[in-house]
Amino acid sequence: MKILFITNNSLLYGANKSLLNTILGLRQYDISAYVILKTDGPFVDELKKNNIPYFFIDFKDCVQFLNRNTFISHIKRYKRAIFNRLIPNVNLIKEFKPIIFQNKIDIICSNSSTFNIGLFVAKKYKKKHIWYLREFGFKDYHLYPDFGFSFQKLLINQFSDSAIAISKSIFDHYSYPFFKHKFSVIYNGIFNKELCLNIFENNQSQLNTENPTVSIVGAINKNKGQSTAILAIKKVKDLYPQIKLRIIGDGNLSAVLKLIEDHDLSKNVEIINFTKDIIAIYQSSSCLLMCSANEAFGRVSVEAMLCGCPVIGFNSAGTAEIIKHNFNGLLYNNLEELEKHILFIIENQEARQKIIKNAFKDSLEKYTTEEHAYHFLNHLKTIK
């Protein structure tokens, strides 16, 4: 079987890291993968390294940032949607044809809900289509579909042959009752089992209770909650003056830098650009904070668990599916609880170790690339 995966960026963040793991995991089932993306970038380097064929087509997404909710703003939005995205995409459909037929593609898989050209191409050339749903859209990125969420949801449910949701929260967000049979909930595969065991068994890091280090990983924006992490550290600093918060990621730093300055935390907060050596970050952290209020899945949470780093996460969406409170992590509902949980992890080494062991065992059963590939293969068998 041959699958053409379409992704809308060339960065090496969650969606593309998960896609890469999917492709590598499917090789054991003799499934060949091809990738279409818009431009060159770090993800292309990984495709080259793993001998995965790829092609460039500069298609358009089908979402926009929705900053105003007025009649005039909606008219402008529809105008941009039609002339800047829909018409150019229609003209690009023919560019997919040689890729599909020369490589004898069986299935087309769109790696995000933020573009729909994959569905149109599949319908045009009579191929089966899978929609991989990895984000809420508006709730997590403030992105709104060009022709409204109801229309996008209709395309996913009625016209796509199937859909995969990366969490139950995403499934509930997108599925209509009558079309639930087309959907599967398949959690992301993070590492292969052998690598997971090797990482965990060779983790020699020890908790430094006098100079604890707390980390938060992900794109820097309002929705990811870096500001919440900073405010929590401000309070914990009263008891642990040397505490360090590491913010790992890229994005708009203005609000974060202002908050650090306003609360005199320049010595306690370190900002690190996106790094490939993320395992070292997890293993040198007292804990990881997941402060996003609308996390579709929480890939970095599972990465941390597999690396022996306990996770404290906001009690909602995908994070609440991954973490069982006081078993494999800690959940918080407000800033006061977050502060309390950070102190608990720092001051209770025995409880911390128990959470680490439970989290690793639970993640090893659910979130390996082998487990993911097995469920993906079963999903393929349901497509009619």
Report pLDDT digits (tens) over 192-251.
999 999 988 887 666 666 789 999 998 888 889 999 999 999 999 999 999 999 999 988
> Is 296 a residue whose pLDDT tops 90?
yes
Q: Which of 338, 292, 340 is nearest to 316 (CA)?
A: 292
CA atoms of 88 and 38, how far apart (whole Å): 14
pLDDT at site 242: 92
Position 67 scores a pLDDT of 67
Task: Write out the chain in H/E/C secondary structure.
Answer: CEEEEECCCCCCCHHHHHHHHHHHHHHHHCCEEEEEECCCCHHHHHHHHCCCCEEECCCCCCEEECCCCCHHHHHHHHHHHHHHHHHHHHHHHHHHHHHHHHCCCCEEEECCCCCCHHHHHHHHCCCEEEEEECCCCHHHHCEEECCCHHHHHHHHHHHCCEEEECCHHHHHHHCCHHHHHHEEECCCCCECHHHHHHHHHCCCCCCCCCCCEEEEECCECHHHCHHHHHHHHHHHCCCCCCCEEEEECCECCHHHHHHHHHCCCCCCEEEECCCCCHHHHHHCCCEEEECCCCCCCCHHHHHHHHCCCCEEEECCHHHHHHCCECCCEEEECCHHHHHHHHHHHHHCHHHHHHHHHHHHHHHHHHCEHHHHHHHHHHHHHHCC
Q: Per residue in 305-334, pLDDT tens? A: 999 999 999 999 999 999 999 999 999 999
Q: Read off the pLDDT of residues 155-172 as tens digits, 9 standing for 90 and up.
A: 999 999 999 999 999 999
Cα 297 to Cα 212: distance, rounded to the nearest angstrom: 27
Beta-carbon contacts of residue 126 (< 8 Å; ≥ 6 apart): none
Average pLDDT, the chain: 93
Mean pLDDT of 33-56: 97
pLDDT band at 13 (very low <50, low <70, confident <90, very high): confident
Q: Is the pLDDT of residue 101 over 80?
A: yes
Is 80 exceeded by the pLDDT of residue 368?
Answer: yes
Tell me which residue has tokens 């060339």.
10
Q: Are 86 and 146 in contact (CB under 8 A)?
A: yes
CATH numbers and ranges of domains, the chain:
2-189+368-382 (3.40.50.2000), 193-366 (3.40.50.2000)
C-alpha radius of gyration, the chain, whole number = 21
**What average pLDDT does this structure show over 23-32?**
95
Region 265-294: mean pLDDT is 91
